Chain A
Amino acid sequence: MKMNLKIWRQKNANDKGHFFNYQAENVSEDMSFLEMLDVVNQDLVKQGEEAIEFDHDCREGICGACSMVINGNAHGPERSTTTCQLHMRSFKDGDTITIEPFRAKAFPVIKDLKVDRTGLEKVIEAGGYISVNTGNAPDAHSIIIPKEDADLAFVAAACIGCGACVAACQNSSAMLFTSAKISHMAHLPQGQAERQRRVLSMVQKMDELGFGNCTNTGACEMACPKDISLENIALMNRDFMKASLKHR
């Protein structure tokens, strides 16, 4: 297949940035999207040009490093798929593909398609610690967790922190990400001791960092490669309200 690429290039956070056109020849439909870009980059380097920078690490959909907006969709056209797990068979020969970095004030562009997502880590950091007993590891069955709760916690914990939710949201809201973290702990007994404190400080941090306000468009849920559901946001809203009313 042959692809026409329109790729955003930007030298650094202060540069204005522009789209540049590239061609990718001999693209196999079995290639992943990142492999296709690798080939483009190799050609660029051969011609003495600078490679297009993009984030990636595991390339198996578990680290959350890859991040780009492909034809207007964060992580490309397929649902429940990270960019690294997207394959060229999702496109047709001769397609023009527009590739842009995640855009949000809280995610400044570092270079080309790479953005700084430290903000998400700061939100996690604001969550603080959980209290656990020291001493020997407890017996595996000493804390009883109903299967349903364990499942819900696990589903929330699947969030890989990629930031696609922020990128896809027209308000750059980080609610889906933050709620995944909140919900993960809220469903487990270990998360109860600091439950209220955690939601208050994580939401406060999220607001502080310049992520926008949620307007329930649901774009985040659709873009999320890990199918984190809006249900988590509802839980966070509930927990936050309870905590702010009770807190002294």
Chain B
Amino acid sequence: MQILNSSIGRKYLMGLAGAGWTLFVAGHMAGNLFIFAGPEAFNRYGHAIVSNKPLLFGTEIFLVTCLLIHVGLGLRLTLENKKAKPAKYAKKAVNAKKPSFASQTMAYHGTIILFFIIYHLITFKWGPHYDVTYGTETMRDLHRLVVEVFSEPAYVAGYVFCLVLLGIHLSHGASSVFQTIGCNHPRYTPVIKKLGWIYALVVVVGFISQPIYVFFNLRG
């Protein structure tokens, strides 16, 4: 297919797949905030999600597909681009001609984020399964697991570090996808860029607030 055989077509796909995750992380982050509403609300929220099978599987399939596309095309793109620039300059571009740090290092934080996602799933999704009963309902006690995990200073530090990388990744990616799909306009683009930054910031701060809160307030 012409689209897949061209750099622009692949870029579209990669960007849109990234946008899928961009939207997802905001939802995930918002859900995490239930931690502030206490153990029961947090667990009930988690339970509601895993009980809704169509939503759960639909989202999972969507996310895995997006991840495979994003990572697969990203890998190919990085390898091709390394080949296209066989020799580096002795000096780096500076001042008025220096591109943003985030945009130049997407492959690096991208890779770390990929491993983080896998590790994150191992810790929580496939992690220890505690039970808790509210009234007649028994459900997974995710709250206990979260408190356990985030009582570990090293884990909190690693988590915060990876989340900052995600923020950097998003600070470029969230607005860059608009350019990729062809939305660039002198009136809107500066606004889109700012919103991209704000989006990244809100997502990161929201995510980080959970381990910080747990570590300082709920640690056993």
Contact = CB atoms under 8 A, between A and B. Distances in A.
Interface stretch (A21-29, A33-41, A51-59, A200-208): A200-208
Contact of B97 (A74, A105, A200): A74
B205 to A, nearest CB: 25
A212 B85 CA distance: 8
B97 A215 contact: no
A212 B3 CA distance: 16
A244 B84 contact: no
Interface of A: 6, 19, 69, 71-74, 77-79, 98, 100, 103-106, 168-173, 200, 203-204, 206-207, 210-219, 222-223, 229-231, 233-238, 240-241, 244-245, 247
Interface stretch (B37-45, B99-107, B132-140, B151-159): B99-107
13 contacts: A71-B94, A98-B91, A105-B86, A170-B81, A203-B6, A212-B83, A213-B77, A213-B81, A214-B11, A218-B100, A233-B184, A234-B184, A237-B179
B84 A73 contact: no
A103 B182 CA distance: 28
A237 B3 contact: no
Interface of B: 2-3, 5-12, 77, 80-81, 83-100, 103-104, 106, 172, 176, 179-186, 189
Given A207-B6, A244-B2, A73 B85 contact: no
Contacts of B6: 203-204, 207, 240, 244
A92 to B, nearest CB: 14
A8 B57 CA distance: 58
Contact of A72 (B5, B94, B100, B104): B94
Residue with the highest number of chain B CB atoms closer than 10 Å, among A103, A215, A222: A215
Nearest to B85: A172
Contact of B93 (A72, A210, A238): A72
A237 B12 contact: yes
B96 A77 contact: yes
B186 to A, nearest CB: 7
Contacts of B5: 207
A219 to B, nearest CB: 4
A204 to B, nearest CB: 7
Contacts of A69: 89
A235 B85 contact: no
A231 B80 CA distance: 24
B181 A237 contact: yes
B2 to A, nearest CB: 4
B182 A105 contact: no
Contacts of A171: 81, 84-85
B182 A237 contact: yes
Given A72-B93, A103-B88, A237-B12, A219 B184 contact: no
Contacts of B104: 170, 217
Contact of B8 (A6, A77, A236): A236
